[in-house]
Amino acid sequence: MAVSVAARIEARRALEPLPLLEGEQDDGTINKTLFDYIWRKTGKGWLILFLMGLGGTGLLTFAVVLTVAKGIGMWGNNIPVAWAFGIINFVWWIGIGHAGTLISAILLLFQQKWRTSINRFAEAMTLFAVMQAALFPVLHTGRPWFAIYWLFPYPSTLRIWPQFKSPLMWDVFAVSTYFITSLLFWYLGLIPDLAALRDSSTSRWQRRIYGIFSFGSARHWQHYKIAYLLLAGLATPLVLSVHTIVSYDFAVSIVPGWHETIFPPYFVAGAVFSGFAMVMTLMVPARRFMRLKHVITARHLEAMCKIMLVTSLIVGYGYVMEHFLSWYSGNKYDFYQYANRRGIWYDGFPSAGRDPYIPVFWLMVTCNVVVPSIFWFRWPRRNVYVMWIASVLINVGMWCERFVIVVISLHRDFLPSAWANYRPTWVDLSLLFGTICFFGTLFLLFLRFIPAVAVQEVKELRHELHKEHAQHEIPEFSQEALAITELEAGETET
């Protein structure tokens, strides 16, 4: 039976990717819709969330002051668990900050168009996450007012230099370099939008403030594109290097459960995994309440779900290899460590089946391996409610992973008489909750005063798509240049 031309076109259309921009857009409507939230009067919802964030930040400040005044004894750390919440939270926040550089730098170099509408979210999240992460190692020194002397090399009359053989020193330089490069990359991308805000503002003070930060006029950033690409090339190695160096904190030791050659790629994949999950957690509600569905489409969300699925598979492979190699190596200490985590198949070590932290391990496996597996199917990748819940669970699972690595590896060491359980104090929990609130407060300020989407890049993308369509580089039936207005499955128009 012959197939009509219309049927063939419709069949091919189904194989085409979803649109990057929805609706009929021009430069004026893009400016108006993406700057609308900045010029709009502050809403009650934003104020309520901001006050809640400030309250949590106040709790963080109190916990920090108490820690500095009375010492690390206010935490739940003990012997043998000398590393606990401080290092768990440090590694967790550093991992969350990884998606920003990946989306901004690597996807830019690979010319992935779908990064355009989400890179600003990810870059801001990176900066705020690294700020939270930096707090914990400084407090963990016990005397943070001496941290500058202990951690940074400087000409000293005492000729005391940091121990550069220690991976903890490598962390200082890796994280500080990462933060500075990410800050420059984020700010450089902001310059065109700050100039547009300066030109469209009606207040004299707003024009002055945005004018100062946009460096005056266009002639001052005429080489913006070249500088942006150079910074992207500089930031790309950091995606691999930063969390690799963080993994060396554990991998270069001889502690069973830490001394693993698989840690560097395993940590990097986990960092990208948790980073994309946090971007999804923040972007889905912001997209809805800031009315950004025309620029952050189902195409962007589906691409992020696919990346989370791939990185979940890598992380799951790391889990399997850890347990397999602990058996294959024939090292009884290594085998006991991993049997102690899973609580099953402990082969002659009955105490490994009674560890109090076994549920944390299986919660980690469920959130990081089982939950992302739903993204093999199309319907969860098109349902914003499902993907948001999954992203929250992934962040919970990645925190549990750091707990498993740090606490379970330490609380039962080589000497059974020294075994001890770890219990966090209210100060530990306040620091974790407070940094989450401080992170949220910074993100709310970012959404209120700075364009959450790179306006200039979205306009460039629109021109590029129309040019390709006019030159027939995009098929006539492609959805790339069509005005698609349907919402994702599971949503209702409000």
pLDDT at 15 over 60: no
pLDDT digits 0-9 by tens, 76-93: 898 888 888 999 999 999
**Whole domain around residue 60: which residue ranges?**
17-470
Q: Is residue 278 part of a domain?
A: yes
What CATH number should be reported for the domain holding residue 181? 1.20.1630.10
pLDDT recorded at residue 109: 83
Q: Is residue 6 part of a domain?
A: no
Report which of residues 59 and 173 the model is more confident about. Answer: 59
The pLDDT assigned to 475 comes to: 53
Contact 342, 323 (CB under 8 A): yes
Residue of 372, 352, 481 lying closest to 419 (CA atoms):
352
pLDDT of 11? 54
Q: Does residue 120 fall inside a structural domain?
A: yes
High-pLDDT (> 90) share of the chain, %: 31
472 pLDDT exceeds 60?
Answer: no
CA distance 105 to 182: 10
- The pLDDT, as a whole number, for residue 12 is 55
Confidence of residue 459 (pLDDT cuts 50, 70, 90): confident
Query: Based on the number of CB atoms within 10 Å of its own CB, is 463 exposed (0-12), middle (13-18) or buried (19 or more)?
Result: exposed
- Please indicate, yes or no, if residue 483 is contained in any of the structural domains: no
Summarize the confidence of residues 460-478 as an average pLDDT: 63
- Number of independent structural domains in the chain: 1
Residue 3 covered by a domain = no
Please report the DSSP string for 415-470 in residue order. Answer: -GGG-------HHHHHHHHHHHHHHHHHHHHHHHHS-SS-HHHHHHHHHHHHHHHH
Please enumerate in sequence order all residues whose Cβ is within 8 A of that of 151, keeping only pairs 6 or more positions apart, or say none: 141, 162, 169, 172
Task: Decide if 486 is inside a domain.
Answer: no
Q: Is 7 domain-assigned?
A: no
Average the pLDDT over each of 5-14, 100-109, 200-209 and give the range with the smallest value: 5-14
Task: Give the model's pLDDT for residue 486.
Answer: 37
Q: Is the pLDDT confidence value at 463 over 80?
A: no
Plot region of 343 (φ>0 → left; ψ -120 to 50 → alpha; else → beta): left
pLDDT in tens, 368-415: 999 999 999 999 998 999 999 999 999 999 999 999 999 998 988 888
Does 77 fall in a domain? Answer: yes
pLDDT value of residue 173: 85
- Give me the mean pLDDT over the 260-273 stretch: 90
Which of 8-12, 51-55, 141-145, 456-460 has the lowest average pLDDT? 8-12
Closest of 416, 401, 404 to residue 356, by C-alpha: 404
